[in-house]
Amino acid sequence: MNKNILSLLSVLVFAFCTGQSNNVKEKKTEQEKYLENAIYQISSRDKGMIAAIETARKTFYKFENALKSGNPNFKNFGLKKAFKSDQGDEFLWISPVLYSKELNKYAGTVNSPPVYTKEVKHDEVVEIEKNEISDWIYFDNGILQGGYTIRILRDRMTKEERKEFDEKSGYKFE
């Protein structure tokens, strides 16, 4: 079936991954507003996106090692997971992320309002199993690590769009 994958690349959500307590609700910055509105519709047959997801899964050990390291330079950990909708899969970023060794699962908070899926709500805590992960992200001294689905979309932007994205998102790429 050729359903569109709704990649709510909540490229977005990582503006929310500041490591602050979820109890502290501050006014959204322009960066957060920009990222929250970033929605991309991607075909489920998109070879670049499929490859990005495969790369994220193959390199997931890097995320796990960083998360468990306790390194203070590593911040804003997040995972991307697909949720079913009538429009196809909607991919949402989940963070902050915690790991349960006993359950061998990750858990985190849906950081952006879902557009199509009814499976979850904004700020809902969800569990994530390794086989459900479609991407991962964290920042090492402010430099984006992982984020393969973000990178593929950024690579497809024009030079001007990429410049605007970098400025408004605040992301730094190697």
Model confidence pLDDT, tens digit, residues 52-96: 999 999 999 999 999 999 999 999 999 999 999 998 999 999 999
The per-residue pLDDT for 5 is 38
Q: Which range has highest mean pLDDT (35-39, 108-112, 143-147)?
A: 143-147
Each domain of the chain, given as residue ranges in start order, spans: 44-169
Task: Determine if the pTM surpasses 0.75.
Answer: yes
Residues 116-124: contacts with CB under 8 Å, at least 24 apart: 116/6, 116/85, 116/86, 116/87, 116/88, 116/90, 117/83, 117/84, 117/85, 117/90, 117/92, 118/85, 119/83, 119/84, 119/85, 120/83, 120/92, 123/22
